[in-house]
Homo-oligomer: A and B are copies of this chain.
Amino acid sequence: MNKQRARTGSEKEYRKEQLKKAALQLFAKNGFKSTTVAMITKKSLLSPAAFYLYFTNKIAIYRQLNKDGIDILEKLIREALQNSKDSSIDKLHAIAHAYVNFFKKYQQYFYITEILHLGNTEFFYDTAMVRELEDRTLQILGIVASIIEEGIHANEFKRIDPMKTAVTLWGMIDGVLILEVKKSTGFTGFSVDELIEQMMEIVLHGIMEE
């Protein structure tokens, strides 16, 4: 076998990336429990033992992928905001679009950050990590809330609780996207895009000042 050693730091980083890439795909496809370390290392052309040079645990790589997912999402949202027009409605639209983008282009991260923990108690054992993820989520929600607040001040939106609305919005989009994950879009005959569009129409009508 090729006993290539990762002597330079970048080589080591490369190996780690390989492992994460493989793990991401496998976790998204099979879930945490059904993905074995052997599967991950095989896909990465490494030995099972090598895994433990890069990650302390199977759960560790899973947690790392979670953080990466949040990073990506945050970046997408910030970019979207920069490219959006000034009106609050446009900004909200842009954020929603960014979230849908995250779902579509990084679906495997979406699975991991938004869904798969749910049946996976190990994940929540590392409370420090959980708190960090919560903080970062709050930050993003804060951005959304501040846009809503701007919209209220600009008389674009009704007088609604900005943070509460941000959280609600998040849940609503999540829920529609999860329909796709559950394959519920298939048997109902609607695409996610249609449903998201429908949702945004309803929601924006619902919060706009008449």
Contact = CB atoms under 8 A, between A and B. Distances in A.
Contacts of A164: 190, 194-195, 198
A29 interface: yes
A201 B172 CA distance: 13
Interface in A104-149: 111, 114-121, 134, 137-138, 141
Given A165-B198, A179-B170, A198-B168, A121 B188 contact: no
Contacts of A161: 198
A182 interface: yes
A177 B138 CA distance: 18
Assembly of this chain: how many copies? 4
Contact of A175 (B134, B178, B206): B178
Interface of A: 29-34, 111, 114-121, 134, 137-138, 141, 160-161, 163-165, 167-168, 170-179, 181-182, 184-185, 187-190, 194-195, 198-199, 201-207, 210
Q: What 7 A-B pairs have minimum CB-CB distances, sorted nearest first? A: A175-B175, A31-B119, A206-B206, A202-B206, A171-B176, A33-B33, A172-B172
23 contacts: A31-B120, A31-B121, A111-B118, A114-B182, A115-B115, A116-B118, A116-B119, A118-B178, A138-B188, A164-B198, A167-B184, A168-B198, A170-B184, A171-B176, A171-B195, A175-B177, A175-B178, A178-B178, A203-B203, A205-B207, A206-B206, A206-B207, A210-B210
